[in-house]
Amino acid sequence: MSVTNHQLIASAPLSSSSSSFFAHSNITSSRAQIVGVRVKNAGVVKCVATPPAQQTAYTSKVSRNPNMAKLEAGYLFPEIGRRRSAHMLKYPDAQVISLGIGDTTEPIPDVITSAMAKRAHDLSTLDGYSGYGAEQGEKKVRAAIASTYYGGLGIEEGDIFVSDGAKCDIARLQMLFGSDVTMAVQDPSYPAYVDSSVIMGQTGQYQKDSEKYGKIEYMRCIPENGFFPDLSTVGKTEIIFFCSPNNPTGAAATREQLTKLVQFAKDNGSIIVYDSAYAMYISDDSPRSIYEIPGAKEVAIETASFSKYAGFTGVRLGWTVVPKELLFSDGFPVAKDFNRIVCTCFNGASNISQAGGLACLSPQGLEAMKEVIGFYKENTKIIVDTFKSLGFNVYGGTNAPYVWVHFPGRSSWDVFSEILEKTHVVTTPGSGFGPGGEGFVRVSAFGHRDNILEACRRFKELYK
């Protein structure tokens, strides 16, 4: 068969927007351009099928992990990427704008990249070279995280494990808990919690009628309950995954709500895995850490990341807090087992990334991150105002870089397809985050300003 170059390129997996932030010195130039994708036909390539004689029917004798077979569909974001690629093949000259996958777009501030560049250069010198570091992270980085984000909360340097990102730590925590635990998750929520539980063998089969996995407790978080579950109706589980500000709804739990959650965990003997990846986006007095709640150190682990603060989606740097007060049922410290998992499965975060993390936590770095976050929050306001002007019920946006738009009575994937087909804008279907997300679409505020404005113009054309 023969295919054109543009077909080959457009059908290949595509990454989402550049994972970087803007430098203070070049704000204007980095925000001025609409970023689309145009692919031209550059010629013809012949594809030759493998001759039948060279094909083999050989298989190994290793059985497939049955838990992998439980996964009902591909992971949400690669599926969105696949549909985006198919759309670009259909419309090769379309200017596609991605507001779906929550990837950052603005260049990393110079104060941060300069520190990483220096560390990288130092590795070329005898005095500056370093090999393996501590699996738990460099002492200076752990101390800076403790003082910056947990000052006065009783969290110490030794409670912090520096990593290559919160998503990776979620998988390590699942390995720590093992296959015999029961778990609860917000509905809707970040898909990695559920999918990692399925892979670990904590769940039953996928139930198509309810769109849920057996043995998972889905904590419904919808507008009617203020996106906080009615804990009186939630069954007892050993692990509770909770994200605030929430991805995808953008809702941040109040101090009163988190106090109820901590008490609920204590009453049931549960451990909370608290994902605070968007805490720096909080604009009101909502807690930025679970450890602001009295007693949380006895029941909670907290994960966090520099990905959405400093554009480190590609650089990879995060951390997990496991307080020394947190104990298993036999009194053994959870942190000791997590330390063993980390030492067995991980050689520590990149020393170059950690140099960047240390720069993030300097006074200049913190100011630079706040400026970038402010820019994305301005994007969020533009998106919120657009959908509100069109008569939609809109949630989120105040404390998170996500806008949660309600399309009552409609399939999330149908709305996703309609928007992509008619506006060439990629969003995220709410049902991909759980059954509670059906009828909603998540719109990400990560994007160049001109892209955000152009996307909103297209939304107005479609729904006017």
Q: Which sign does the torsion angle of CA 303, 308, 309, 313 carry?
A: positive
Residue given tokens 């001759």 in the structure block: 51
The span from the CA of 433 to the CA of 191, in Å, is 6
Could you tell me where in the chain the CATH 3.40.640.10 domains are found? Answer: 131-361
Report the percent of the chain where pLDDT is more than 90.
Answer: 85
End-to-end, the C-alpha distance of the chain in Å comes to: 45
Q: What is the pLDDT of residues 255-287, one digit of tens each?
A: 999 999 999 999 999 999 999 999 999 999 999
SS3 content of the chain, % helix, strand, coil (to 5): 45, 15, 40
The span from the CA of 358 to the CA of 112, in Å, is 8
pLDDT-based confidence at residue 77 (cuts at 50, 70, 90): confident
- Name the DSSP class of 107: P
Report the mean per-residue pLDDT for the chain. Answer: 90
> Are the beta carbons of 153 and 210 closer than 8 angstroms?
no
pLDDT-based confidence at residue 20 (cuts at 50, 70, 90): very low
Letter for the amino acid at 330?
D
pLDDT-based confidence at residue 3 (cuts at 50, 70, 90): very low
Q: What is the pLDDT of residues 347-363, one digit of tens each?
A: 999 999 999 999 999 99
Residue-level pLDDT at 17: 36
Q: What's the average model confidence in pLDDT over 139-165?
A: 98
What ranges in 284-424 are assigned the alpha helix state H? 307-310, 334-345, 351-360, 363-389, 412-423
Instruction: Name the 3-class secondary structure at 391.
Output: coil
pLDDT-based confidence at residue 53 (cuts at 50, 70, 90): low
Class of domain 2-49+75-107+367-463: alpha beta
Residues contacting 176, CB < 8 A, separation 6+? 334, 337, 338, 341
pLDDT-based confidence at residue 7 (cuts at 50, 70, 90): very low
> Are the beta carbons of 207 and 214 closer than 8 angstroms?
yes
The span from the CA of 191 to the CA of 212, in Å, is 12
pTM of the model: 0.87
**Domain 131-361 classified CATH 3.40.640.10?**
yes
Q: Measuring CA to CA, how many Å separate 72 from each of 13, 184, 208, 318?
A: 21, 19, 9, 29
β-bridge mates for residue 282, sequence order: none
Q: Is-cis flag, bond preceding 245, omega within 30?
A: yes
Q: Measuring CA to CA, how many Å separate 284 from each of 130, 255, 308, 399?
A: 42, 11, 19, 7
Could you tell me where in the chain the CATH 3.90.1150.10 domains are found? Answer: 2-49+75-107+367-463
Strands 402-406 and 425-426: unpaired
pLDDT-based confidence at residue 32 (cuts at 50, 70, 90): very low
* Token digits of residue 266: 């204590």
Residue-level pLDDT at 251: 98
Letter for the amino acid at 142?
R
pLDDT-based confidence at residue 15 (cuts at 50, 70, 90): very low
- Name the DSSP class of 223: G
Least confident residue range of 3-12, 149-158, 315-324, 360-369: 3-12
Q: What's the average model confidence in pLDDT over 52-59?
A: 73
> Are the beta carbons of 119 and 352 closer than 8 angstroms?
yes
Q: Where are the beta strands (DSSP E) in 221-376?
A: 239-243, 271-275, 300-305, 318-321
φ, ψ of residue 168 in degrees (nearest 5): -65, -40
Q: What is the pLDDT of residues 169-213, one digit of tens each?
A: 999 999 999 999 999 999 999 999 999 999 999 999 999 999 999
**pLDDT: is 102 or 131 the higher one?**
131
Q: Which sign does the torsion angle of CA 83, 86, 90, 96 carry?
A: positive
